[in-house]
Structure 1
């Protein structure tokens, strides 16, 4: 097993994880990595110092396994970058590492349960869409009528816009509620019925230390029109004027304070409607896709390193260099078919180089962006000194890729698609 780059000063217990960067930061900071998961992927083995194959649903059994693995020594911290494991992280943190920073169990529950999020924020006088909980189809229709159409139907937890649908009438509410099929597996019971806020959406990334929140990035988010919300991309700068931006920053600080998220990161979605900003989602995690790298580029702060230092009670380094303009474009398709494309080879490497990521190989089938089983198949991220420079950089990537969706003789799109989410965030 490779040795850490500096002498170990304790073990960091990590709950799940798939990214080399997540483990590498811990080792760069001089700690051993002990990975716990139900099935440890082979590709993760070289990145960790020890691993324990164990189901993570029995929390006390997990705590006992950690004690046994560490020989009774307290871990330096317990950390996860996986949102479903945040409740376990908070529990183990209280039990095994009371000295460590990080979210507590109440704050995690306030963020993961969308009903709790809205209830807490409403009680604090903060702006959220009108909402109600429905546990039956009859309740869903009644709540939608009371709130007023259009409404959004969504599960109480989950991510990536899974199961989220905008409805303009009773029949659509019944269909959307039924499509949840018992809701998200292992999720919270019931579905949220809430007011649809018509207006631009913003993705806001933050780092909170000791109750003081720093807004790292604000991206203007682009999605498909209702009824589904497939992520089309993000823009930086976000287009808000100074006064609006000040209002948004203040709203984020008040929101995280009300939810009790005092020492952690967050990815929050906010819409600007006719009555001002409304908080749509608060996620106690970093964003998905490539928004972490994009945040690093525009703020100089690496959220993976920042949250690792946070739980280890280490000082944050000064911000690195930044770029003035950035664009994230999802790779989506208007029609289904077989995807053909060429490889993209960037001219160079570095913070300003384009990022191109495709999740399907040439010759595989894709669905349209509006298809319930379709959505995002990859992403292109470009940086520059102006919007014109972003346009040129993105067009250069697209010309090199030469994306084409074609049909062969008698070939139809695959009947099923195993990808879980329609968006990254």
Structure 2
């Protein structure tokens, strides 16, 4: 019998291993197509078949998938992130497989176009402007008024995102984005937005059903690197309903509603404001938190959609899950990191992950990729989960020696 294969386009260190494991549990043979498979350590660890192909070339991908069909029954094609979601949609249409609308995905992934469509639909969003050079950034910030958020119009993981509170900070970050340090996949386009202040929440959606609403906290400004998430968020029924209603308005405005969507909010003095809509599952351990909180495996349910099976989004229980991200407080060489096994042994800890080894150079940029690890815990109550998390994180110890400066 021909083996059923699930094609995974590119990957990530966060959710992609979950997709591989879920596919295998469903009896599927995962195959990763990547421009550089060696960048994903989990492929070798999970003994996952991987093929090198230019993933920016749709024709090359169609050819590779056509070749694979001679050996496998391709049950579905998907990806864990959003950078290749539109390409996945195009491949699914070519091979007559279930998948997202590529036009809707492309509109959503362009944050300026996303903003336009949300504004036209009356969805509450921050004031915004598009800029392509330093003069336009300055003009946009003057129109909106400081402080402003300045970020690439396309991107994820808070890469290149910064709160600019002064003219000097605005000039510094504009120089960073346009001066060659930031890597652009296309012509530079910068989004300048009003700073929406208030508690941060995310909505996890599958199809047109809001599954979970989580709360999160960031490290100190001007950056937006995640420090902690908890699911579910501590909201009243009315507050949850307001976020759910706005979430569904976002889906309608952007033509989404197939597969996963993650929406970010700030609860301002005037209520919830949409910060971003992402046509994918939340990264940064989001699926694990939902599964621990409600017993719903969003990764598995997404794959079921991809291969044409029926989803089961029923809640099995109601717990509180939380994650604490480990982030260095200084630049330098990581001398040691220890205590992971002790932390994992704490009752109520669900997972401990350490991404770095001793002798790793640490250079902080203020975005999520600099996270060096995390601890996840779950229990029947938020207070108990926070206590477990605090106890486990205290058992992890790492030290960093500052880089030597010139002249020392």
Query: 2:348, 2:99 → 1: CA distance?
Result: 32
Query: 2:217, 2:105 → 1: CA distance?
Result: 27
Cα contact 2:11–2:81 (8 A) shared by 1: yes
Q: Which residue of 1 aligns with 2:133?
A: 136
Match of 2:403 among 398, 403, 412: 412
Distance 1:125 1:320, change over 3 A: closer
Residue 318 of structure 1 and its aligned partner are, at CA, apart by: 5.7
Cα contact 1:34–1:48 (8 A) shared by 2: no
Cα contact 1:237–1:326 (8 A) shared by 2: yes
Is residue 283 from structure 1 mapped to residue 282 from structure 2 by the alignment?
no
Match of 2:321 among 288, 313, 326: 326
Query: 2:48, 2:389 → 1: CA distance?
Result: 40
Is residue 389 from structure 1 mapped to residue 380 from structure 2 by the alignment?
no
Is residue 311 from structure 1 mapped to residue 302 from structure 2 by the alignment?
no
Residue 11 of structure 1 and its aligned partner are, at CA, apart by: 3.4
Query: 1:193, 1:36 → 2: CA distance?
Result: 35
Is residue 159 from structure 1 mapped to residue 150 from structure 2 by the alignment?
no
Query: 1:158, 1:414 → 2: CA distance?
Result: 32
Distance 1:270 1:414, change over 3 A: farther
Task: Say how many residue pairs are matched.
Answer: 398
Deviates most, 184-193 or 81-90 = 184-193
Q: Which residue of 1 aligns with 2:353?
A: 357
Cα contact 2:203–2:210 (8 A) shared by 1: yes
Distance 1:413 1:381, change over 3 A: farther
Query: 2:62, 2:369 → 1: CA distance?
Result: 39
Residue 320 of structure 1 and its aligned partner are, at CA, apart by: 6.1
Cα contact 1:135–1:190 (8 A) shared by 2: yes
Partner secondary structure for residue 155 of structure 2: coil
TM-score of the superposed pair, with normalisation by structure 1: 0.84
Please list the CA deviations of residues 105-125 of structure 1 after superposition, one character each: whole Å capped at 9, or x if unmatched: 111112211001101100111
Residue 224 of structure 1 and its aligned partner are, at CA, apart by: 2.5
Match of 1:224 among 219, 223, 245: 219
Cα contact 1:110–1:116 (8 A) shared by 2: yes
Please list the CA deviations of residues 37-62 of structure 1 after superposition, one character each: whole Å capped at 9, or x if unmatched: 22334862685786432111221122
Q: Where do 5+ consecutive residues of structure 2 fail to align?
A: none
Residue 188 of structure 1 and its aligned partner are, at CA, apart by: 5.4
Taking only aligned residues, the RMSD between alpha carbons, in angstroms, comes to: 3.0
Match of 2:340 among 340, 344, 347: 344
Q: Where do 5+ consecutive residues of structure 1 fail to align?
A: 1-6, 416-425
Query: 1:13, 1:58 → 2: CA distance?
Result: 16
Partner secondary structure for residue 83 of structure 2: helix
Please list the CA deviations of residues 11-65 of structure 1 after superposition, one character each: whole Å capped at 9, or x if unmatched: 3322123644323333433444343222334862685786432111221122122
Please list the CA deviations of residues 116-135 of structure 1 after superposition, one character each: whole Å capped at 9, or x if unmatched: 11011001111111111001
Cα contact 2:224–2:366 (8 A) shared by 1: no
Counterparts of residues 22-421 of structure 1 (less than 5 Å): 22-41=19-38, 44=43, 51-71=50-70, 75-97=74-96, 100-181=97-178, 184-187=183-186, 189-208=188-207, 213-317=208-312, 319=314, 321-336=316-331, 338-345=334-341, 352-362=348-358, 364-366=360-362, 375-401=370-396, 403-405=397-399, 407=401, 412=403
Please list the CA deviations of residues 326-357 of structure 1 after superposition, one character each: whole Å capped at 9, or x if unmatched: 22111124444545443333698899533222
Query: 1:78, 1:173 → 2: CA distance?
Result: 41
Query: 1:147, 1:269 → 2: CA distance?
Result: 21
